[in-house]
Structure 1
Amino acid sequence: MAHVQDVAAYILNKLGPMTAMKLQKLCYYAYGYHLAWESRALFPERFQAWANGPVCPELYAKHRGRFQLNKGEIKGDPSQLDAGEIESIDLVLAGLGTRSAHDLSQMTHGELPWAAARQRAHVGPLDRSTEELCDSDFEEFFGALVTADGEEL
């Protein structure tokens, strides 16, 4: 199974330089849509409901203190991704890859996986939280977005 750093390295290779926040949010969307499309997790690492949206702590540890990330700066192995995983990521990048980090972050704030985790943690809008997002919430939210014809981005 691929890991979050493999997905992040793939995204950076495809889209080039981006902010760490945008990379986190694209990994979140790739995870959510892949779970809905293929009924399996994209990677085993979990997202937490941080104040600025979902963050994967294992990925954060790879870019902590960095604002901008370039190709090759997240050490991962995109060859670990199978064809279905690559297809899911490519569809997310085609649909959301041009959005800003701020737009993606704002989008996540209105979505069930992050909002439900924040609610479970009983935290305010700016409070810290390490509450994990649940796959059942991903499945419910992203599954509702997936149409009979494939996907909706």
Structure 2
Amino acid sequence: MASAHDVAKLILERKSSLEAYKLQKLVYYCQAWNLVATDEPLFTEPIKAWENGPVVGLLFNSHRGRRNLAPHDLPEGSSERLTSLEGALIDAVLDTYGDLTSDELVELTHRESPWADAWARSEVSDRINHHSMREYYARVSALPAHRRRPDQFVPHLPDARVTYVCPDDISAILSDDDDETPPASLLEAVRRARANLG
């Protein structure tokens, strides 16, 4: 399994250099969306709710005191430990969140329940658990695009093994009285329903 350092290394290789705050938030979103796509963590290091958003403590210790980071600043990371699918997911996260500033990413994570709930529990660095991340971002990804808030981003996930449905999906499937070919699977039924909700 990859480490948070490996994920951070690939992000830095793709972006050349980043502010440390921004890197931490991008690593967090990679973990969150990997949980949604595969139902498995991308790395095992815990993510904590710090005042300025989610932080991987072990990664922070590697760059403590540095504001900006380049790939050579994380010698313990290796992007070669990541699979091509993991790399594609990280690229999807960067395509979605990579142009946001550090401050925008901090504000965004503060509006989302995984960080907010962990912070409310202790206000001193409580762990953000995988279940809360998976549940929140899966719920966001299941919403039809027209029902999402402008600040609810969903990356185009490569070959996701898991598909989440929302109540609108179920209603559309149940009300589908299309006499054409019945869907071959629940996934096909969800795709049709979402296309009809459009």
Structure 1 residues not aligned, in runs of 5+: 124-128
SS of residue paired to 1:55: strand
What does residue range 10-21 of structure 1 map to in structure 2 within 5 Å? Answer: 10-21=10-21
Matched, 1:114 2:109: no
Question: What RMSD over aligned residues (CA atoms) do the two structures have, in Å?
Answer: 1.5
Amino acid across the alignment from 2:138: G
2:131 equivalent to 1:146: no
- Per the alignment, residue 148 of structure 2 pairs with none
In 1, Cα distance between equivalents of 2:78 and 2:143: 33
Q: Tell me by how many angstroms 1:87 deviates.
A: 1.5
1:1-153 maps to which residues of 2 (within 5 A)?
A: 1-75=1-75, 76-121=77-122, 123=123, 129-147=124-142, 152-153=154-155
Q: SS at 1:31's partner residue? A: helix
TM score, norm. by length of structure 2: 0.70
- Give the Cα separation in 1 of the matches to 2:142 and 2:80: 29
CA contact (8 A) 1:49 1:130 kept: yes
- Deviations along 1:102-140, one digit per CA (max 9) or x if unpaired, are 00010000111111111221x3xxxxx121001110011
Q: Deviations over 1:62-105 (max 9, x none)?
A: 10000011122112111111122112111000111111000001
Identical pairs, percent: 34
Number of matched residues? Answer: 146
Change (3 A) 1:102 1:148: closer
Distance in 1 separating the partners of 2:143 and 2:34:
15
Instruction: Supply the distance in 2 between the matched residues of 1:147 and 1:130 (Cα, whole angstroms).
Output: 29
Amino acid at match of 2:74: I
Contact 1:13 1:72 survives alignment (8 Å): no
Which residues of structure 2 form unaligned runs of 5+? 145-152, 156-198
Deviation at 1:148, TM superposition (A): 8.3
Q: 2: CA distance between counterparts of 1:59 and 1:13?
A: 16
Aligned to 2:191: none
Take 1:119 and 1:22, find their aligned partners in 2: how far apart are those partners?
A: 22
Letter in 2 for 1:107: L
**Aligned partner letter, 2:140:** L
CA contact (8 A) 1:35 1:138 kept: yes
Aligned residues of 2:119 and 2:125 also touching (Cα < 8 A):
no
The one-letter code sitting in structure 2 at the alignment partner of 1:136 is H
Q: Which has the larger radius of gyration?
A: 2
* Alpha-carbon distance in structure 2 between the residues aligned to 1:41 and 1:10: 17
Please give the TM-score of this superposition, normalised by the length of structure 1: 0.90
The residue type equivalent to 1:40 in the other structure is E
Structure 1 pair 148–79 and aligned structure 2 pair: CA distance change class (3 A)? farther
Aligned equivalents of 2:154 and 2:65: distance in 1? 34
Q: Which stretches of structure 1, 4 residues or more, deviate above 6 A after TM superposition?
A: none
1 CA distance for matches of 2:45 and 2:65? 20
